[in-house]
Amino acid sequence: MTLRYVYGIARAGDRAAIDSAAIEGIEGGRVRAIVDGPLLAAVSDVEEREYDTEPLNAHVRDLDWLAPRASAHQTVNGRLLDLVGSVLPLSFGAIYRDDERLKAMLKEDASVRAARLDELRGRAEWVITLTRDADAPLDEDDVRALEAEISASAPGRAFLLEKRRSSVVARSLERRDAEAAESALESVKSVAEKTYREPTVQAGSDVVVLRASLLVSRERDASLTETILRAERALGERGYRLRASGPWPAYRFGGMP
């Protein structure tokens, strides 16, 4: 038995464009449109033995299984964005047993979703990430002065000063990171229609100082790229790296559960 894997929601009028585009979905299934009222769901078929609740819950804990399929999910939604101009992307793993249950979902808040699609027309989401090398040297006057005092002190006093140095470094880095994050955000606000600061997770050798989602008009894609390059050059002189990914469908600003 096959199930319906849903990528996103678009306007019913986009059905022909989606059905004729021959988009390849997860597990190689062809993406097609299922319509109800003013909306459609972009779906492909997947096997019940792999995507029913119990096997899917087991699979998503396996990163080797999940990674290529999550990437395929995002690729399909990116293709839909380019094809029809706006899409409400669903999170990975939205499964329906049949067309009837899927159409019932499309009936829920249909007018609200249709209005959101209109609002997102010609817009896309970008994600910017600001990082700092965790091992980068800290060139600050107060730290240098303290290090000079440590070098000139007897062992006992040097030990106490070294503990103080750790606190001074931590406060200095916190201040510098906050200033860099604010600078990066301010640089893109003139281009983005909306911004949302995401929670950050520390991993690897880089300290993630800022992660933010931006809603940007497609007409301003080039302006955003130029703005990010200028900010990257300025922040790079202070030991930071600013990167952007996009354009993506509006997961943060238009995505559905």
Q: What is the pLDDT of residues 74-89, one digit of tens each?
A: 999 999 999 999 999 9
Whole-prediction pTM value?
Answer: 0.79
Rounded CA Rg of the chain: 24
Q: Give the integer Cα–Cα distance in Å for 196 and 91.
A: 18
Instruction: Give the per-residue pLDDT at 207.
Output: 85
pLDDT string in tens for the chain (257-residue length): 899 999 999 999 999 999 999 999 999 999 999 999 999 999 999 999 999 999 999 999 999 999 999 999 999 999 999 999 999 999 999 999 999 999 999 999 999 999 999 999 999 999 999 998 766 655 565 556 656 655 666 665 555 556 566 666 667 778 888 999 999 999 999 899 999 998 876 555 578 999 999 999 999 999 999 999 999 999 988 889 999 998 999 999 887 65
Model pLDDT for residues 153-198, shown as the tens digit of each residue: 666 555 555 656 666 666 777 888 899 999 999 999 989 999 999 8
Architecture of domain 124-254: 2-Layer Sandwich (3.30)
pLDDT at 151: 66
Instruction: Give the strands of the sheet with 32-36, arranged side by side.
Output: 32-36, 39-47, 2-11, 88-96
Domain spans of the chain, in order of start: 2-121, 124-254
Q: What number of CA atoms fall less than 13 Å from residue 185's CA on the CB side?
A: 16
Per-residue confidence (pLDDT) for residue 80, from 0 to 100: 96
How big is the chain, counted in residues?
257
User: Which H or E element spans position 169?
Assistant: helix 155-189
